[in-house]
Amino acid sequence: MPAKEEEQPLMKYRHRIEYDLTPTGRSLILPLHTLWEWAAEKREDIDNSRAAYDQRVAAKTQST
């Protein structure tokens, strides 16, 4: 059985919204892509650093 109209208030309205970056926003594409590539290359180092930090924080928390 289909849901009643009052149970689907968001289904009643369908709008198409389009977004576009400003020139300033577009100027971030290359730096952000470069950062993404760097993070992908350093993923293992980042994960290891996070794990080491979590261990240090846990050790401090347990000793206090």
The Cα-based distances of 46 to 4, 32, 53, 56, 59 in angstroms read 50, 17, 10, 15, 20
How far is residue 60's CA from residue 57's CA, in Å, rounded to a whole number?
A: 5
pLDDT tens digits, one per residue of 23-59: 999 999 999 999 999 999 999 999 999 999 999 999 9
pTM as predicted: 0.57
Q: Which residue has the higher pLDDT, 60 or 7?
A: 60
